[in-house]
Each structure stands twice: as C-alpha cells, then as structure tokens.
Amino acid sequence: MSPTEISSYDSELRSAGIRVTAIRSLMWRTLRQHIHNAFALSDVENLLVTVDKSTIFRTLTLFADARLLHLVDDGTGCQKYCVCQCHDAEHHHGHVHLTCVVCRKTWCLDDVTIPHVDIPADFEVQEREYVVKGICMKCRRMRR
C-alpha cells in the first residue's frame, strides 16, 4: 500500500473532525480496505487481534458519532455497523440491508436507497432502517 493511500484514509478521518492517532488510522484503514458489508465488533476483533476489545469498541463508537459509520439494527440482536456511503450531507437516506436469518450476516445494498416515506413534519428523523430478511444463497444451498 502506498503512502498516498494511507494519507487519504487519514484525511477522511480529519474531514470528519477526528484527530488522527495510530490506532484510529489503523482501524479506519482496515474497515475501508477489508470490510464491504455490515460488520459486528467481533469481525473487527478478528481482523485486529493485537488491539484490545474496549479500544475497538470505543473507536467504532467514535466513528459512528462522527457519521463515518452507520449503526445497523438488523434484528439479530448484535450491533452491526457499516461504512457510510451517503453522498449527501443529511446522512439520513441510508441504504437497504439484506439479513440472512440463518447465518445472521448482513449485506449492504449500497446503490439501493431506502424508498421515500412521508413522515409527519413535526417528527425529527434521526435514522432510517430498511432491512430485508431472508436466506442467503450459501445457506439456501446448504439446506438442500
């Protein structure tokens, strides 16, 4: 990986208002390069075995607060996150997620935006979720 690539990830952190530290830089780079769908804390732990769990958790929370990550509630009871792909400042639009009820994995449909729903004007929207539950191809094959 070239130094330019490293610094572009770091600049994403800076533009989100995050002070860059070695661990934040490593974590953000790892998420951007190795994770392409919704992930749980344990997935990051498996990628970064040398980093302690509480640091990983705190850093994920920091990234989510800075809106670099979306919190995904996929109904599995396990907090999931995904890298924000919103191309608007609102960060409300989000994208559709597919959750497999067998293996409990969640996929991001990055280019499928959540359909428009009319919400009463006096209700302040913070987050929208659109989760489609079903059985993934791998699990369907194993069932046969």
User: Smaller CB distance to Zn ion: residue 44 or 136?
Assistant: 136
User: Smaller CB distance to Zn ion: residue 5 or 110?
Assistant: 110
Q: Which of 18, 68, 69, 82 binds Zn ion (CB under 5 A)?
A: 82
Q: Which of 18, 40, 44, 108 binds Zn ion (CB under 5 A)?
A: 108
Structure tokens given for 6: 């490293």
Q: Which of 53, 58, 91, 133 binds Zn ion (CB under 5 A)?
A: 91
Structure tokens given for 25: 């830089």
Q: Which of 78, 103, 112, 132 binds Zn ion (CB under 5 A)?
A: 103
CA nearest neighbour of 127 among 73, 57, 88: 73
Could you say whether residue 102 binds Zn ion (CB under 5 A)?
A: yes
Backbone φ and ψ of 82, nearest 5°: -145, 155
User: Smaller CB distance to Zn ion: residue 111 or 122?
Assistant: 111
Question: Among the residues of the chain, which ranges form H helices?
Answer: 3-15, 22-34, 41-47, 53-65, 137-143
How distant is the alpha carbon of residue 17 from its chain centre?
18
Part in contact with Zn ion (CB under 5 A); list of ranges 18-26, 58-66, 114-122, 129-137: 129-137
Could you say whether residue 100 binds Zn ion (CB under 5 A)?
A: yes
Cα(68)–Cα(65) distance, integer angstroms? 8
Q: Which of 84, 96, 114, 131 binds Zn ion (CB under 5 A)?
A: 84
Cα(27)–Cα(69) distance, integer angstroms? 12
Interface contacts to Zn ion, rule CB under 5 A: 82, 84, 86, 91, 100, 102-103, 108, 136, 139
